[in-house]
Structure 1
């Protein structure tokens, strides 16, 4: 796809589409399962076919601008911002612990974290305040830490201390 503007590339097209997802849906409907567009001044290739995606799993160069939105959450040292040989090394290491086959061994821990959240919310009366940000943060971190450290963070008190330390840091 040709850029709409020199500086913004196809960003105006993304805005017109209503969302990045809608833009990509339209892009692939028009240009096919592997298509290119300009994300600002960075030429970016999008793949919308599982078969084609499998052929490109070795790709280790991704425009960091695509993930800039997540930088405050994951930090600039995240694998999202790593390319080249460093990306390949880290991906191999992470895949051993978090690859598709390994994730199935964590399902019971995810289910346990989910059951705990559902139990806490089901104790609420209609109209009771639900600290949604705190509860979902605790849920997400608990699920992640279960996979890394086991059930050590099962205690809600430890989770709140972790959240406080996280927010302080």
Structure 2
């Protein structure tokens, strides 16, 4: 698998699937989630509402992933995953790793060859970016996947530097 880092906007990536750092409601929010919903258009929210009306009535559990179409984004699909909130008193790194592995599992089910990830849980959820980078890269490297290209699309210089140091 080809593993690359890009500093930029994940909503501009021309890949098969963009990973959304979603909240469990799947109804949009701030940060990456809000940007994907705004740029992708209301159809993404409509698909998320259908998911909530069906098997995810209680919300998408942390560490799991589910896909919708990407609508107006330059990708084919959006893979929504719920990252864990960082905790100093509880090791939640397995949940963060699961976000990446589960997203790649969903990508495989879709037949996606290229996937773009943001720095999951490093924004409002407070995960230290250097630790999140290590967990994310280790999880992707160890994943049993047919995805040929994984991009980490990092919005700012600090996140890019943290991922670069781990790569």
Q: Same fold (TM over 0.5)?
A: no
Q: Which has the higher contact order (CA 8 A, sep 6+)?
A: 2
* TM-score scaled by length of structure 1: 0.24
* TM-score scaled by length of structure 2: 0.24
Structure whose residues are more often strand by fraction? 2
